[in-house]
A and B are shown apart, each in its own frame.
Chain A
Amino acid sequence: MSNEAMSNQVVEVQNLSRRFDKLWALEEVNFTIQPGLVYGLVGANGAGKTTLIKHLLGLLKAKQGSVRVFGLDPVAHPVEVLSRIGYLSEERDLPEWMRIDEFLSYSAAYYPAWDHQYAASLIATFGLDVSKKIKQLSKGMRAQVGLVAAVAHHPQLLVLDEPSTGLDAIVRKDILNAVIREVADNGRTAIFSSHLLDEVELMSDQVLMFHQGKLLLFGSVEQLREQHHRLEVRFATERAQLPAIDGLLSSEQHGQHHKQTWSLVCHGDASEIQIAIAAIDGEITQMRSASLQEIFVSRAGRSYQVEV
């Protein structure tokens, strides 16, 4: 408890860089995570999300920069840090040969705070047969078992790596509801990575957008949306390309027969953008704040294709 007095921040990452061979997986990453909020981690495959999560869990040691979780170095204090974290890995690497009940009592042994009643109620909600072996389970059932193991000790920090990948809507909802419950009832903190940007937009208070190892954007969903605008612009004459506009992130022409209309995503003050468009004789037929998906594609979309 004295650790919390020392640092109110759940996570503090400073100047974190990590290189695998010649590729920078993380580059000069800085951010802090406050208690009681949900953080969405977005980026294409290979953007650095999983590398970052491994640093938070102490599975990778910070070679450049520093990582603090509950004010502690997770590599130097694995027991103190990991006992307060709930983690659902992307691979859901569970011991195949164990039965569900064996796996859960094995997990419970690691956590003094394990809530047997809560675990049992989740198992009942999911309709899982605890006598089944993990290797017999479907992908969705595995995720459910992994989820029980991640939340049954009511962790102060919940870390979910791609919790929605490959799951049907029902299991996805189970997972989201478990996050919502921990945050709403117990004021816990959650970090989840996802490539489903609409889901992140609804589920997150704060968004961390990674691209090629760099933290591209960090802020509340509302801040990000207020700063990014999507416009439909009509010109009196056809245009092969657009003149330079301050804050323009991406532009797209509509089909071959409509060279007069363009879709734009811009960053900055709305009125300044309106003035800039008027200055190039454009008529704005639509303007609204951009969605997270539009923001991401406009900022990272070009090189997304060539990434591994």
Chain B
Amino acid sequence: MRNVRYGLAKTAKRQMSKSVQRIQGDLEFGAAIRRLPQFAGLGTLSALLLAMRPASAKSRKSEKGSLHSETQVYHSTATLTLNEVAVHIEISVRDGVPIYRQIVNQVRYLIASGQLAVGEELPPIRTLAEQLSVTPNTIVKAYDALQTEGLLVKRQGAGTYVSELASPIRKSEQRKILTQRADALLAEARQFSFSYEEVLELIHKRQAALDRTLPKGPGDV
């Protein structure tokens, strides 16, 4: 059951990442949004989009004096195997979002999308820090933030788990994510001088196209 659902999520991911790449080709996605005063400081979105990008971690050459090569992009990926399902966390120093925030956003997304279920254990701090090659304090900070939000619980000396509270929160998290997407779409449309009606028309068209490729809604699996 989980595997099937995950497979679908992957399809959605692939489609999403294509459109994201298209947008990024012209203009950095987050930037257009952050320019608008009501979205100042919005960094979560690009991190979420990053979570949906296909894993493309590139190893870099280490050579002395590389301070000046500007094209390097440092990605770090962790693949967590939870209940035999592999999920990815990917961070990037070029994202402009603090590393711990990138982790918070991706774990939140994994919970909202059901890839992390209630009661599931998260990797120990050291394990995740080693996989991502980040200072352990970054993981501590991310887990603390998620605990404050009520999405994770720590059991004394026994690890970190997805909280019971995450279940009712899930729907609202999903809504939050979709709201951010909608805001991003609208901001981008404004940047390109598309009218609201044109955006609506586009959504109708895309829905029709989606209906043709996916005979049933994602909930029917």
Contacts from A to B (Cβ < 8 Å): 36-38, 44-45, 164-169, 172-173, 176-177, 180-181, 183-185, 195-199, 201-205, 221-222, 225, 230, 232, 270-271, 284-289, 291-293, 296-297, 301, 304
Contacts and interface: CB of A to CB of B under 8 A. Distances in A.
Interface of B: 27-28, 30-32, 34-35, 40-41, 59-60, 62, 64-68, 70, 72, 74, 76, 91, 93-94, 96, 98-99, 125-126, 129-130, 132-138
A48 to B, nearest CB: 15
Contacts of B68: 297, 301, 304
Instruction: Choose among A164, A183, A185, A291 the residue with the greatest number of B CB atoms under 10 Å from its CB.
Output: A291
Contact of A288 (B30, B59, B67, B125): B30
A229 B34 CA distance: 13
A181 B126 contact: yes
Contacts of A180: 126, 129-130, 133, 135-136
B175 to A, nearest CB: 26
A297 B72 CA distance: 14
Contact of B98 (A44, A165, A168, A222): A222
Q: Interface on chain A toward B: helix, strand, loop, or mixed SS?
A: helix
A167 B136 CA distance: 23
B62 A164 contact: yes
A177 to B, nearest CB: 5
B67 A293 contact: yes
B74 A205 contact: no
B64 A202 contact: no
A202 B74 contact: yes
A147 to B, nearest CB: 15
Instruction: Choose among B27, B96, B126, B136 the residue with the greatest number of A CB atoms under 10 Å from its CB.
Output: B136
A203 B134 contact: yes
B62 A169 contact: yes
Nearest to B28: A286
A180 B136 CA distance: 6
Contacts of A172: 62
B154 to A, nearest CB: 15
A308 B59 CA distance: 29
B206 to A, nearest CB: 26
Given A184-B129, A225-B98, A285-B31, A198 B74 contact: yes
A119 B185 CA distance: 55
B94 A291 contact: yes
B62 A205 contact: no
Contacts of A285: 27, 31-32
Nearest to A283: B35
Contacts of A168: 62
Contacts of B91: 202
Nearest to A292: B93
Nearest to B140: A184
B135 A203 contact: yes
Contact of B59 (A169, A185, A222): A169
5 contacts: A180-B126, A180-B130, A198-B72, A285-B27, A288-B30
Contacts of A296: 67
Nearest to A180: B129
Given A198-B93, A296-B67, 20 more contacts: A38-B135, A172-B62, A180-B135, A183-B135, A184-B125, A202-B99, A202-B132, A202-B138, A204-B135, A205-B138, A222-B98, A232-B31, A284-B31, A284-B35, A287-B31, A287-B34, A289-B96, A293-B67, A297-B68, A297-B70
Contacts of B130: 176-177, 180-181
Contacts of A205: 135, 137-138
Q: Kindly list the 7 A-B residue pairs having the minimum CB-CB distance in the complex, ordered from nearest.
A: A288-B96, A198-B74, A184-B136, A286-B31, A184-B126, A38-B135, A180-B129
Contacts of A198: 60, 72, 74, 93
Contacts of B72: 198, 293
A37 B137 contact: yes
A165 B62 CA distance: 7
A286 B136 contact: no
Nearest to B75: A198
Given A165-B62, A199-B74, A205-B137, A185 B31 contact: no
Contacts of B138: 202, 205
B142 to A, nearest CB: 12
A304 B27 contact: no
B80 to A, nearest CB: 17
A95 to B, nearest CB: 25
B133 A304 contact: no
Nearest to A183: B136
B67 A304 contact: yes
